[in-house]
Structure 1
């Protein structure tokens, strides 16, 4: 292929050095027109044998015709210099023995492609364009009676059409891949000028699997050559076919599509968001499969520019739907899949994380974006202590500057959300016995670690200092957490009045989702059974909200149920406890909570 491309370039340069192509002799033209007429009107074996015998000479003649067409500045000039070319090409496209030859078919397609006018300037060129489209369609589809070659090879019509379509797509793909030259003469048209018409012709075929290589070649050419202008109809058809899963493309082709047309990238992201938000109950493994099937993580790992666009779309969507727990899980799933796709690349081709997250301090990128499964369990707590300390420092510095509600805090919070697995681990460690040592010598240290984890969860659900009440809110969270542990970890069932008091305290938090997180974490991961008490508290919270406003409570109950489902899904995914008995205990509690959650929130 490389050798033929070099020869092709040399031929172009040689032809460009000539001021005017040498005219074809009248005798030569008459000879070939007579032969073509004979072959197109006869189907006898002798006529086909004659066509096969002249095949090599015909290819040489077509090569000369192609060279003359390429030297013409426009289609009108080409038709003036070669008045026989239309009739010749039209008849040859109807000769099965000629179109069945791969090299001859390629030359015919290139002649038609070169003759096409991207911007027709006369009625002649308009008419020629229309005829070229019909002729190219004739090359990839059989007529009503079937091509005469089928009568001799014995293939069914459908099978022959598919075989012919594959061959024609292959020839067109080769032509697109090798059609651009940066060494063309200033007076010569770029061979990519005809891609607009070719893409328009491909619109009805985009959902055919045979057309996938040609689609990929067209889209990749549009990124590498400035002269390539694909039709809007083609780009729309490819985008719709891909989103509707009627068209399967490789990652490189999808990247080319999204780089060529940013609106198609935005549609892909919003389609994924819509399908996840409207889907059934969340399962993280199924969610990861859905995200990977969109090819967004793989494309983002290959092109930083694509990632920045996708990340911005997620950021803007989150600002509009900040209370959506499902959207948060989707963003975390996308980031998780993206990081895995990035890690799968060759180290020499892989960009650094700072290229993808330019607005976040480098010191926070690696700790937050390292998956919990990649860190030994015995250093989870230490890892989270470092994250919490850096976030507290960033938050304090932003508050001193007076920009705690602007970009700096939001960006580090958004990164914490993207690497949300550490928030799940923090909730698990906070609720388990790992941070509450029994000995008095370590009680102070354990309490300090618990406060760091609790602060991390509070920051996740309430990152900004709204109303300048951060200190009061933090004191409230600590008080509620102490009360909650008191009733859930009590060796004896707490009295109803105590549960009412705790439920009111939970409702006083700035975020009902934070309250639900703390409640469910204790129910699932505490060292003593607490799921029954947790369900009672959820019911009481729902009842108290219903007393305030029945309509708002109905919406709030559904929202809380959805939040709880997401939290339980995260708990089921991120419980990485090596203790078999503890793991079995967690699984049993998860099943109990999942089975009774709907009634607890909607009764």
Structure 2
């Protein structure tokens, strides 16, 4: 048998020699004993290597202990000899021998007892107890520093073991090296928040699951997920992807944590939102692993169906999509997947218009914005018409098209801006182009077309836009009936608020005063605090998006736009906060 061949070098006299040596070294603290130990280190390592080979050949811990009855006493004594523990090579072999003795699924009382002893022996190396004080003093380090150094050394050695290949693939008769992975991950639960243990945590997560014995414990995955979400554990992108591939629940929790953080802020801050998104590691992980993106996108999709009116949620999804596209563009072109793999449910023509590189508003020259948006609107109309003509659940297809428009939502904001006339009494574009832009906005804010609801909204918006222009670009003191009619529309339409604020921000005429009058009028009408809070958050999001666009603009009108944004932001914040507090 192979195991008997391996045991031949471990003759009884040789074993007795080394057991006698470790007994002498452990009981004596004289310089001569320490010198003798140092002189024998190289031969000790050779002996421990043979012991390790024999342990790895054994099919179980019980078989190993039966064949090598001295091994427990040998390893236990070596852990207390300072010359041995100070020698990296010797410690590595001792640790490997201990882990080879560990039983992932103990079947006998002997294996249970051996597991308990191995865990206590390992803990002795990294904890501060009375029995370990003499060892630490001999090394000459303070307790805390000794513990940290010992932990780092143990982590380094165990990480090397974890990174080794699956031995069962080479020799089925050997005891598989993966046997200890589940137990090791369980042992690491208490270490996940220790910075020194990060390499080992990452190695366990990234280990390829080529063997059914290499499954990580649920307790370990849960501890890593919780610590990572609570910012008590740092993971690189590869380790985070590995964690999320091990546990779909951990990925969903990461997305929900990002949602909670983003939606709980007191004010809308796009820069802060981008930082939160990037710090979550989700965009880069999604760019590297398409299945992760599909899960994240599905969580956003489900949340959006429940919170369709939440404007901050929409901005979060847009921020995530933008960060994801940047991470994807940074990859090697030969390794980068096509966007169609990430967005399989939408027409390729729309995907290319909204999300492909060089099609984002900041990447397209302003002089072709109108032409590009007209094309997007026409494609949207065709896609929704085809979906709504089908009998097999057309609403799902329309939702996917709408969801894609939201993800590339920068173009929606640009469409509202382009509806503002360049001159106080001039048309901003041709009639057909205006209708295309207005249709795009109507679809974005009113995607459902049951009973021709979207069509009716579009017709209503065409009439309302004319009233809004007359009000904001007309006399300084607007007619009360017109003011009240427009204010009434504000109470029930996010699209109306979008048109109003864009007109107030980008119009060459000084019409932001009329806009503030309308907001005040609407606030007077609204009695529900939640409606006033909705108005404040919606206005914040629109102003934040406009501010970001103006910062990327090099036009001569940008200074005027910035000044108006500050006025609108301060006035709206103060007025609406008072309204909400009341």
Task: Give TM class, smaller chain.
Answer: over 0.9
Instruction: Report if the CA contact (8 A) 1:368-1:419 is conserved.
Output: yes
CA distance in 2 between partners of 1:491 and 1:295 (Å): 52
Match among 402, 411, 433 for residue 422 of structure 1 = 411
Structure 2 gaps, min length 5: none
Which deviations, in whole Å up to 9, do the C-alpha atoms of 1:233-282 show, x marking residues without a partner? Answer: 21111111111111111111111111111111111110110111111201
Aligned CA distance change for structure 1 residues 452 and 250 (closer, same or farther; 3 Å): same
Partner in structure 1 of residue 560 of structure 2: 585
Partner in structure 2 of residue 471 of structure 1: 455
Partner in structure 2 of residue 100 of structure 1: 86
CA distance in 1 between partners of 2:276 and 2:62 (Å): 52
Partner in structure 1 of residue 66 of structure 2: 80
Partner in structure 1 of residue 488 of structure 2: 504
Deviation at 1:403, TM superposition (A): 5.6
Partner in structure 1 of residue 399 of structure 2: 410
For residues 325-404 of structure 1, what are the structure 2 equivalents within 5 Å?
325-369=311-355, 370-402=359-391
Instruction: Report if the CA contact (8 A) 1:404-1:464 is conserved.
Output: no
CA distance in 2 between partners of 1:413 and 1:266 (Å): 23
Aligned CA distance change for structure 1 residues 581 and 216 (closer, same or farther; 3 Å): same
CA distance in 2 between partners of 1:54 and 1:282 (Å): 68
Deviation at 1:599, TM superposition (A): 4.8
The question of 1:563 aligning with 2:538 is answered yes
Deviation at 1:299, TM superposition (A): 0.7
Instruction: Report if the CA contact (8 A) 1:437-1:446 is conserved.
Output: no
CA distance in 1 between partners of 2:159 and 2:425 (Å): 68
For residues 11-410 of structure 1, what are the structure 2 equivalents within 5 Å?
21-22=7-8, 24-144=10-130, 146-181=132-167, 183-221=169-207, 223-369=209-355, 370-402=359-391, 406-410=395-399
CA distance in 2 between partners of 1:217 and 1:493 (Å): 70
Which deviations, in whole Å up to 9, do the C-alpha atoms of 1:369-417 show, x marking residues without a partner? Answer: 1322122222222211111110011111122224675221111110111
Deviation at 1:219, TM superposition (A): 0.6
Deviation at 1:327, TM superposition (A): 0.7
Aligned CA distance change for structure 1 residues 444 and 313 (closer, same or farther; 3 Å): closer
CA distance in 2 between partners of 1:231 and 1:471 (Å): 55
State the aligned residue count. 575
The question of 1:489 aligning with 2:489 is answered no
Deviation at 1:222, TM superposition (A): 5.2
Deviation at 1:180, TM superposition (A): 2.6
CA distance in 2 between partners of 1:313 and 1:525 (Å): 35
Instruction: Report if the CA contact (8 A) 2:350-2:376 is conserved.
Output: yes
Structure 1 gaps, min length 5: 1-14
Q: TM-score, normalised by structure 2?
A: 0.94
Aligned CA distance change for structure 1 residues 23 and 155 (closer, same or farther; 3 Å): closer
Instruction: Report if the CA contact (8 A) 2:56-2:175 is conserved.
Output: yes
Which deviations, in whole Å up to 9, do the C-alpha atoms of 1:73-126 show, x marking residues without a partner? Answer: 111111111111111111111212112222211111111111111111111111
SS in 1 for 2:169: coil
Higher mean alpha-carbon deviation, 149-158 vs 559-568, is at 149-158
Partner in structure 1 of residue 516 of structure 2: 535
Which deviations, in whole Å up to 9, do the C-alpha atoms of 1:5-35 show, x marking residues without a partner? Answer: xxxxxxxxxx969777437211011111111
Instruction: Report if the CA contact (8 A) 1:297-1:337 is conserved.
Output: yes
CA distance in 1 between partners of 2:303 and 2:516 (Å): 32
Instruction: Report if the CA contact (8 A) 1:37-1:91 is conserved.
Output: yes
Match among 464, 470, 473 for residue 480 of structure 1 = 464
Partner in structure 2 of residue 521 of structure 1: 502
Aligned CA distance change for structure 1 residues 61 and 469 (closer, same or farther; 3 Å): same
SS in 1 for 2:474: coil
Instruction: Report if the CA contact (8 A) 2:3-2:54 is conserved.
Output: no
SS in 2 for 1:202: helix
CA distance in 2 between partners of 1:288 and 1:249 (Å): 19
What RMSD in Å do the two structures reach over aligned CA positions? 2.1
Instruction: Report if the CA contact (8 A) 1:223-1:256 is conserved.
Output: no
CA distance in 2 between partners of 1:519 and 1:444 (Å): 15
SS in 2 for 1:175: helix
Deviation at 1:181, TM superposition (A): 3.0
Partner in structure 1 of residue 436 of structure 2: 452
CA distance in 2 between partners of 1:593 and 1:403 (Å): 46
CA distance in 2 between partners of 1:372 and 1:267 (Å): 32
CA distance in 2 between partners of 1:95 and 1:600 (Å): 75
Higher mean alpha-carbon deviation, 469-478 vs 343-352, is at 469-478
Deviation at 1:212, TM superposition (A): 0.6
Higher mean alpha-carbon deviation, 404-413 vs 337-346, is at 404-413
Deviation at 1:524, TM superposition (A): 0.9
Instruction: Report if the CA contact (8 A) 2:438-2:458 is conserved.
Output: no
Aligned CA distance change for structure 1 residues 20 and 47 (closer, same or farther; 3 Å): closer
Which deviations, in whole Å up to 9, do the C-alpha atoms of 1:169-220 show, x marking residues without a partner? Answer: 1111111112533533223222011011111221221111111100000111
Deviation at 1:148, TM superposition (A): 3.6
Instruction: Report if the CA contact (8 A) 1:242-1:249 is conserved.
Output: yes
Which deviations, in whole Å up to 9, do the C-alpha atoms of 1:430-478 show, x marking residues without a partner? Answer: 22529x995xxxx696222121111111111111203333332211011
Partner in structure 2 of residue 10 of structure 1: none
Aligned CA distance change for structure 1 residues 105 and 179 (closer, same or farther; 3 Å): farther
